[in-house]
Structures are given as C-alpha cells and as structure tokens.
Chains A and B, each alone.
Chain A
Amino acid sequence: MEYVLAAAIGVLTASGLWLMLRPRTFQVIIGLSLLSHAVNLFIFSMGRLTPGAPPIMPRGGFVDPSRYADPLPQALVLTAIVISFATTALFLVIMIAARGLTGTDHVDGQEREQ
C-alpha cells in the first residue's frame, strides 16, 4: 500500500511539474491541479497509513489512539482541497481573460518568434 501511494504521488508530481513548465496556459493549469492532488495525497500520508480505522473517536472514557487514524491530516486536506479548488477556478478565469485579450494561449501572451 505504501508503494502504491508513493508511486501515485510521484507520478502525479512528475506529470504536474512537467505540465507546469509547458508554454500553454491550459497545460499550466492542469499541471497545477495535478500538483495539488499530489500534495493532498502527501498530506494525507503524513498522518501515517492506518487502513480500516476510523478517524473519529468516541466521546469520553479511555481511548486507545492506536485503533484510530490520525484525524488532523484529513482536516488539513479538506482545507487544502477547498483552497486549491478556489484558486484554480480563479486561475481559469484569468486564463480565459488572457486568451481573450491577447488572442493566444501562450503564457507570455505572445508566441515565441521562430
């Protein structure tokens, strides 16, 4: 399971980085989304992988923490997802505005001279 998750994060990060360095705005935005997915998985894995254990503990009494998953990274991931969702939406708007104003989808607003 660790290997699968590590490979998934690695592949997402690598593809995200490559796409982010491409000259088209759409590639950049997809790259940033992939990167943020990779980061979300990474935050999640930082709470250690505990399969089959709930992150919610019963109220009161003695609680054995080893029987539960760490709830904090899950809360952090939720926040990070919301924020990256909002900023990606904003970036999309700017991308469309830039496309309309400059007539090209190059990140510099003009095609590189050949």
Chain B
Amino acid sequence: MTPGADHLIIAPILIPFLAGALMLLYDERRRQAKLVVALVAAGLMLLAGIALLRRANGGGFAGGSDVGYYLLGNWAVPWGIVLVLDRLSAMMVVLNGLLAIPVLIYAGAGWHRQGQHFLSLAMFLFMGLNGAFLTGDLFSLFVFFEVLLAASYGLLLHGGGQLRVRAGLHYVAINLAGSVLFLIGVALIYGAAGTLSMAHLSQLMVTLDGSRRPLVHAGAALMGLAFLVKAGIWPLSFWLPTAYMASPAPVAAMFAIMTKVGVYILMRLSFLIFGAAAGASAGFGAGALMLGGMATMVYGTLGILGSQGLGRMAAHVVLVSSGTLLAVTGIALGAGGGVTMLSGALYYLVSSTLGAGMLFLLFEPMSREEGGIAAMLALTTDAWGLDPAETEEDADPAPGQGLSIPGLMTALAVAYSVAVLALAGLPPLSGFVGKFVILRGGIGDAGMAGWAVWIFAALLIVAGFATLIGLMRIGIQTFWANEGESPPIRVLEAAPVIALSAMLVLLTVQAEDVLRYMRATAQALEMPTTYVEGVFAAPRVAESGNGEHEP
C-alpha cells in the first residue's frame, strides 16, 4: 500500500454506490439476486468499516497516526476535498453497517416487494450516510446529505398509500427548507472565512478578523439549524413522529441512525470550529445546544407517556436519545471539558441507535393483527393505572412470563425486553452503562457540576423512567394480555431483531473495551489538533504512482 493512499477509506462510500447502481440495471424480477447483492455489499461495507476501526484504534495509518486521510482527486488541502477517518467516523461507519444488515434481512421478508428499487435506494442511503461520516469538507457534506435525503424520500414513500404520501410531503418540504438553510450557512462561512475545509476553518478561527467573526457565527448557526432539524431538536421536531410512523418498518429502523447523522455532524463541527482552541469563538452555541437538547428530552418524555401505539412511542424514544446527545454536547462544549461525559454519550449513541432500530423492526410484527386491540387496551390500562414500582420489578421476569406464547413470538418478547432495558437504561444492559457514565462524568468530574448538569441528570433519569413505563405498557398488552392467536411471524423478520439484541448484549459484555475506545474518541474530539494538522500534512500521491486503484 502506498503511503498516504489508503484506498480502504473510500470503500464504505464506493461499495454501496456500486451495488446500488448495479441493482438499478435489473428490474424487479431479479429480486432474490438483488437481495443477495445488497447483503454482500452491506457485509463488505461492515467489514471495511471494522478494518478501518481497527486501524483507527491501533494507529494503523501512515506514521502510526490514529487518523487516516484520503485526498480525493489528489488535490492538497485546503483546495481539494479530503475524506478523514478518525475514531468517531470509523465508529459511525461500523454502526451504519451493523444496522444495515439486519434491516436488509428484514426487508427481504417482504418489504422490498412493495415497490420498486427498494434495495438500490437503501444502498444510496448507506452511501450518503457513510459519506457524511467520512467527509472533511463542508460542501461535500452538503452533497452527501442530499444523497442520503434523496434516498430517504424514496424510501419513506416506498409502498405508497395516502398516509405515506402525506407524511412524505411534509418530510420533503421541511428537508428542502433545511437544505436551503444549510446552503446559506455554507455560503456565509465561505464568504467570511474563505474556506470550506473543516480543518482549515478550525485553524482560521483563532486568527479570524473581528469583523468577520459574527458572519462565521451566523453561518454556523444557520448550518446548525439544518442539522438540528435532522436531529429533531424541539421545536423543530414535530415532523419526526409522523414521518417515522408512516415509513415502512425497515426504513424507520434505518431512520434511527439518520437523526444521529445530525448529532454526529453537530458534535464534529462544534468541537472542531468552536472548541477550546477557537479563541474568542470558543463555546459558541453551547447554551443553545444544551437548552434545546433538554427541551427535546422533556418533549420526548411527554410524547412517550402520551403515545398509544408503539410506532409513535418509538419515534419519541428517538427524540429523547437525540435530545440527550445534544444536551451532553452542549454541556461539554460550554465547559470545555467533560471527556468522561462525552465518552458515555458516544456509548449511549451506539446503544440507543441499535435499540431504537430494534423497536421499529418490532413495531410491525407486534401490531400486525392485534394492533387495533392493543391500542384500545392502552386506554383502559391508563385508567386502571400502572404502579411504577411494580413495573420496575416486573421488568426482568418478562422473558420468562412470555413462554406461554410459543415459538418466535417468545423470541420477539425476549428481544423486546432487551430493547426496553437498553433504551430505558436499566441494569444490566448497555443503556445503563451509557447513562451511568454520562452521569458519572457530569456530576463526578471537577468543573462540570453546575445547575445545568443537575437539571440534565434529573431529566435523564425521568426520561428513562418514562421510557420504561411507556414501553412496558405496550409490551404487556402485546405479549401478555393478547388473548387471540399470536400473529404469524417469519423467521426473516425475527432473526434481525434477535441479531440486534445480541449486539446490545455484546456491547454490554464488552463495555470496558468499548468505553476505552469511546474515551479515546472523546479526547480526540475535544483536542482536534491531530485531525487538523494531519489533514494539512496528508501527503499527495506522487505523479508516477497514481492510476492504480485497489478495489
């Protein structure tokens, strides 16, 4: 491998792109072959992601660095576009792959037959996601964002029907408006700072002219709004529950990672541009992120308690988790520290994305035939009143009690309880570890604890509690109080859910290693000097050595 030309870095973008384009050439009669191609591509994408993760963790890039660079078109930074792979982006690429495979298998049970080119669109969505995780340039971030949004429009409308078209109309309109804001922000930043490279911008922030600084701030704020719409911050989140509920189950599961794209980019850009080294701009937007995140947590909590169906509830669970992450980002950015808190938040990001994806996959089989009845029962249960303490005690024996329903439904019940435990943050599963580390970092670290952290801690615990009440209510109605025959479940639908719950268990068992990785990630996030200097030092490929591309 030639130094500086780590072609593996572009693989997570190219693999889904080529697979998606290849599948476009064949029509729907070759559905099984397409499914195989999609699964192989997703598997390769995951393997490439894991290989990159191992390198980012072990200093496997040129010069023993933890950060890899790929100069697109062999132009030096800041003129060319660069792909940057560090611990954070490697983690997100792997998470994308981990979620992609179960979703594709689930879609193979029948969803991909409901319309045309489902698998191609899914591949383009993965490509856009990976591109957004890997890019180091603001405008190519916009392009990858549009790729993933365009694919998501098609996926949301997959299967058709009045509900989807109506939700799709709102979803497309709000995202087009968000893209407009994104472009205005990028243009303002370019006009004021004269660069689109994230690393270059990070360097320029210290020496930026006093009269131009407000313009960069305005540009960053407008761009941030576009990501906040995607992350679903209150009050920009009202589109989210309807859109997630209306979309087909596998698509909704994929959307669980789409809110995290917004969170990822906000984390990345906030610490890169407005981190502790940014001079007069340090901590810009921290208060807004913190307050907005907390407001989102309150809104999501109320939404969970007020929802009657699993779909709407799962959408609000997604809101709570992105609110938590935004608030942690805001607190850490404002305090200029909080590595422990951030590492907990990153762990929580992985755990809650997998958990929320599971909920969306479970939503459809669970409400298949008894959906109407379950929703009606929810009302009576409310009147009857659940004792919260009782619910907590009952959380663990849920799998055992589910044995009366035979076969796959039992497996689904076990998986459901795993998801509930992980999302609510109860021991022994991963959600507890994540939340515990967040709280430990917020309250325990010197210089972090303030009134805001205490309010945040209270909100985090209340939100977890509300998640537990809401999801247990649905679980009891579906798995225990369901008197009719259990609906038919296909193996292809149960297997991905079980695989995802196995991942959550594995995440818990390996918590120490994962947390060590997250800690290094959080440290690199707060001290982006390696990232910034590395981007400029990234060597170009010699003129004679190009033209040889590894697959």
Contacts and interface: CB of A to CB of B under 8 A. Distances in A.
A107 interface: yes
Interface string A50-71: 0000000000000000000000
Interface in A57-114: 72-73, 76, 79-80, 83-84, 86-88, 90-91, 94-95, 97-98, 101-102, 107-109
A30 interface: no
Query: Nearest 4 pairs between A and B by C-beta?
Result: A46-B191, A43-B187, A109-B166, A46-B187
Given A20-B177, A97-B165, A101-B162, A90 B150 contact: yes
B24 interface: no
Interface string B183-215: 110111011000010000000000000000000
Contact of B162 (A45, A84, A94, A109): A109
A95 B188 CA distance: 32
Given A94-B157, A94-B165, A108-B166, A83 B187 contact: no
Contacts of A84: 176, 179
Contacts of B196: 72
A42 B179 contact: no
A95 B169 contact: yes
20 contacts: A32-B176, A32-B180, A39-B180, A42-B184, A43-B190, A45-B191, A76-B139, A84-B176, A90-B150, A90-B153, A91-B173, A94-B153, A94-B157, A94-B172, A101-B161, A101-B162, A101-B165, A102-B162, A109-B165, A109-B166
A76 B71 CA distance: 19
B170 interface: yes
A11 to B, nearest CB: 16
A76 B182 CA distance: 13
A32 B172 CA distance: 11
Given A35-B177, A39-B187, A90 B139 contact: no
Given A39-B183, A43-B183, A83 B143 contact: yes
Interface of A: 20, 25, 28, 32, 35-36, 39, 42-43, 45-48, 72-73, 76, 79-80, 83-84, 86-88, 90-91, 94-95, 97-98, 101-102, 107-109
Given A76-B139, A83-B143, A84-B176, 14 more contacts: A25-B169, A32-B173, A32-B176, A39-B187, A47-B191, A72-B190, A73-B190, A79-B143, A83-B146, A87-B179, A91-B172, A97-B160, A97-B165, A109-B169
B355 interface: no
Contacts of B187: 39, 42-43, 46, 73, 76
Nearest to B146: A83
B506 to A, nearest CB: 39
B275 interface: no
B168 interface: yes
Contact of A98 (B146, B165, B177): B165
Interface in B118-172: 139, 143, 146, 149-150, 153-154, 157, 160-162, 165-166, 168-170, 172
B179 to A, nearest CB: 7
Interface of B: 139, 143, 146, 149-150, 153-154, 157, 160-162, 165-166, 168-170, 172-173, 176-177, 179-180, 183-184, 186-188, 190-191, 196
A110 to B, nearest CB: 9
Contacts of B153: 87, 90, 94
A47 B183 CA distance: 14
B80 to A, nearest CB: 12
A108 B169 CA distance: 9
B214 to A, nearest CB: 15
A27 to B, nearest CB: 11
Nearest to A80: B183
A35 B182 CA distance: 12
Tell which of A25, A39, A46 has the most Cβ of chain B within 10 Å: A46
Contacts of B172: 87, 90-91, 94
A15 to B, nearest CB: 14
B190 A94 contact: no
Nearest to A46: B191
A48 to B, nearest CB: 8
A19 B187 CA distance: 23
Contacts of B160: 97
A98 B180 contact: no
A86 B183 CA distance: 16
A36 B157 contact: no
B170 A107 contact: yes
Nearest to A86: B150
Contacts of A98: 165-166, 169
A39 B190 contact: no
Nearest to B168: A94
Contacts of B165: 94, 97-98, 101-102, 109
Contacts of A45: 191
A23 to B, nearest CB: 12
Tell which of B154, B161, B170, B187 has the most Cβ of chain A within 10 Å: B187
Contacts of B176: 32, 36, 84, 87-88, 91
Contacts of A108: 166
Tell which of B146, B150, B172, B188 has the most Cβ of chain A within 10 Å: B172
Contacts of A83: 143, 146, 179
Tell which of B183, B188, B196 has the most Cβ of chain A within 10 Å: B183
Contacts of A97: 157, 160, 165
